Each structure stands twice: as structure tokens, then as C-alpha cells.
């Protein structure tokens, strides 16, 4: 695996693990620096379970699992490119949320 690919996978793994910890702390209503950074009130009319299950935990856990799979296999390939696509979709959704909602 090339150097950029390893840097990408380790960076994504670190980001999504920290984001998962942050979301768990927020759902448990534990206020710390990591759980209170970049928090914006929800104005969505979607049910709470939609945001919790689909937009946070499912994306984070799948991205962590894919990154670990790439590291274990030591080959970037299509799974590595899938991590890039998921991260781009995640970032786009976050950007939309912060600008328009």
C-alpha cells in the first residue's frame, strides 16, 4: 500500500473513532470538550432514531470496519476508494447541515 493510502486510512480511522466516541457521549448527555465541540441544535423534522442510527452510528461503524479491513488486507483497492466516497458523502452532509439547516 502506498504512503498516501496508509495516511488516509489511519486518518479516517482516527477521525471516525473520535466521532463515534463524541456521538456516544452526546447521546449519554455527558458534557466534555470532545462532546460539546461543533454542536448545533437540531432543526430537523426527521425522527430521532433516523439521525442516531443512519446518520451517525451506521456511517461511523461501517467506515471504521472498512478501514480496518483495508489495513488487515494491506491493499487499498476498491474498499479503500469506498472509504473515500463515504467520507466525501459524510463531509458533504455535514457541510449542508451547517450551511443550510
Instruction: For 20-49, write each residue's pLDDT tens digit.
Output: 998 888 888 888 887 777 676 665 666 666
Domain hosting 23: range is 3-100
Q: Note whether 11 and 83 are within 8 A (CB).
A: no
Give the pLDDT of residue 43.
59
Q: What is the pTM of this model?
A: 0.83
Number of domains in the chain: 1
User: Angle CA(22)–CA(79)–CA(7) in degrees, nearest 5?
Assistant: 60
What tens digit of pLDDT does each residue of 58-101 get? 899 999 999 999 999 999 999 999 999 999 998 998 888 778 86
Amino acid at each position: 500500500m502506498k504512503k498516501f493510502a496508509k495516511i488516509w486510512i489511519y486518518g479516517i480511522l482516527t477521525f471516525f473513532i473520535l466521532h463515534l466516541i463524541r456521538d456516544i457521549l452526546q447521546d449519554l448527555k455527558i458534557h466534555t470538550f470532545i462532546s460539546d465541540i461543533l454542536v448545533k441544535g437540531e432543526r430537523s423534522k426527521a425522527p430521532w432514531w433516523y439521525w442516531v442510527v443512519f446518520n451517525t452510528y451506521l456511517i461511523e461503524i461501517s467506515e471504521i470496519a472498512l478501514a480496518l479491513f483495508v489495513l488487515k488486507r494491506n491493499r487499498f483497492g476498491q474498499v479503500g476508494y469506498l472509504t473515500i466516497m463515504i467520507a466525501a458523502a459524510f463531509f458533504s452532509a455535514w457541510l449542508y447541515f451547517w450551511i443550510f439547516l
